[in-house]
Amino acid sequence: MTVANEAPTGATGTTVDSPAGAPTPAPTQAARQRSRRRPVRDVVFVEGVRSPFGKARPDGIYAETRADDLAVKTIRELLRRRPELPAERIDELALAATTQTGDQGLTLGRSVAVLAGLPKSVPGFAIDRMCAGAMTAVTTTAANVAVGAQDVVVAGGVEHMGHHPMGEGSDPNPRFVAEKLVDSSALVMGATAENLHDRYPHLTKERADAYAVASQAKYAKAVANGDITPDLVPIAIRSTELGWGLATADELPRPGTTVDAVRDLKTPFRPGGKVTAGNASPLTDGATACLLAAGDVADELGLPARMRLVAYAYAGVDPEVMGIGPVPATERALASAGLTIDDIGLFEINEAFAVQVLAFLDHFGLADDDERVNLYGGAIAMGHPLASSGVRLMTQLARQFAQHPEVRYGLTTMCVGLGMGGTVIWENPHHADYSGHTFETAEN
């Protein structure tokens, strides 16, 4: 509609200049299309939770618990913590698993949504990027929110390695090795960690052991300080032998671990190698879930914005040294955000193997004991349930942001099987220079 006596405007709302008396040219088709484009919206991390992580063994706490039930209980608690959110406002549930079979199969996102009691209107899907499954669930759904396709999403992951060991039922194409597309060690994650030690001799076993012991100590301190338990979902468990129980704490940490205690552990991936059970993450069962929303929708619903997504990136590397993947992924994410590594005040790096973290730290000039890295310890202590871990990193970073308002940016990063890395950069809303997460706030 044209208002009388009002100067005509172009597609962007600016006045169209035209000679006196000359008719105003009609907007082009391209201009019409531009006028209908939605602006990219900010995406915020609202809430994150996880199950306690358990040993992936016949005597582990979740040995008789279904993987999909782990995910259901985690998602129910996520939504219980945010009563401001009407369940019918959830637009998607994306759930990751590395081994999608049995109780981790059947289109996890949708089946778990139904089992969790979400409205039947909530769609869902399963996703797999091995260890970065939950991270990819977050970035995929966040992209949908950013372009206006969705407003509120749930993303997470579940991995029951006790029921489904990594690679169970897979049939790798023989061409991988026969045609020398990858080294034969590329499909064994521990072997790829040994390869990293070979490629970078300065990443010694002594450094790896010392880093791992420090991770255990930091985790124990975080538990004592009350930094871990608030994110945990109590899980009802059942054992044929012991009856019913309640899982309320991680089962895997080894508090009091010393360098002397891990120095002579077996090296299962290579005789005389450097990777041991002491400097690698243990086999783990667990689930994670988080809630993401458009910034303006979060404000509308009264949901907290605990972090703002700034940028993310994934990168491929030689599969036989997959642990180096976080390096190019982080470089890409930093370039996309217009930041440098010096702008990052907190790091959550998944500790699949100590050597992989050390490779990252060395590349970016960070000390092995840099205080900004993994404040609460990492996967070496608490476990790494493969496709779940990405959201665990994010949930911990969100808590650290609240504790450290002086830090503006943080990142979550992880290596990924078959030679990849993933990194997500976040902004702290508690920082004095926070850029905001709605258009109105950003303009002020």
| pLDDT at res. 282 | 97
Cα–Cα distance measured from residue 338 to residue 70, given in angstroms and rounded to the nearest whole number: 39
Nearest CA-CA partner of 254 in 273, 285, 280? 280
Q: Is 415 a catalytic residue?
A: yes
Report field, pTM of the whole predicted structure over 0.85:
yes
Catalytic annotation, pick one of 160, 163, 384, 437 = 384
Q: Where are the domains of the chain?
A: 43-163+188-433
Q: Measure Cα distances from 252 to 60, 137, 255, 305 in Å.
A: 10, 26, 10, 31
DSSP 8-class letter at 269: T
Residue type, 320: E
| pLDDT at res. 91 | 98
Q: Is 384 a catalytic residue?
A: yes
Catalytic annotation, pick one of 131, 160, 163, 164 = 131
pLDDT band at 10 (very low <50, low <70, confident <90, very high): very low
Cα–Cα distance measured from residue 276 to residue 95, given in angstroms and rounded to the nearest whole number: 31
Return the structure tokens found at 227: 């930094």
Q: Which residues 6+ apart lie within 8 Å of 81 measured at CB?
A: 47, 49
Cα–Cα distance measured from residue 336 to residue 226, given in angstroms and rounded to the nearest whole number: 35
Mean pLDDT on 93-108: 95
| pLDDT at res. 438 | 74
| pLDDT at res. 2 | 30
Q: Is 131 a catalytic residue?
A: yes
Catalytic annotation, pick one of 163, 197, 290, 415 = 415
Q: Give the N- to C-terminal CA distance of the chain in Å, as an integer.
A: 30
Q: Which CATH superfamily is domain 43-163+188-433 in?
A: Thiolase/Chalcone synthase (3.40.47.10)
| pLDDT at res. 440 | 53
Return the structure tokens found at 380: 């070496």
Return the structure tokens found at 110: 């949708």
pLDDT one-digit tens code per residue, 242-288: 899 999 999 999 999 999 999 999 999 999 999 999 999 999 999 99
| pLDDT at res. 8 | 36
Q: How far is CA 94 from the centre of its chain?
A: 13
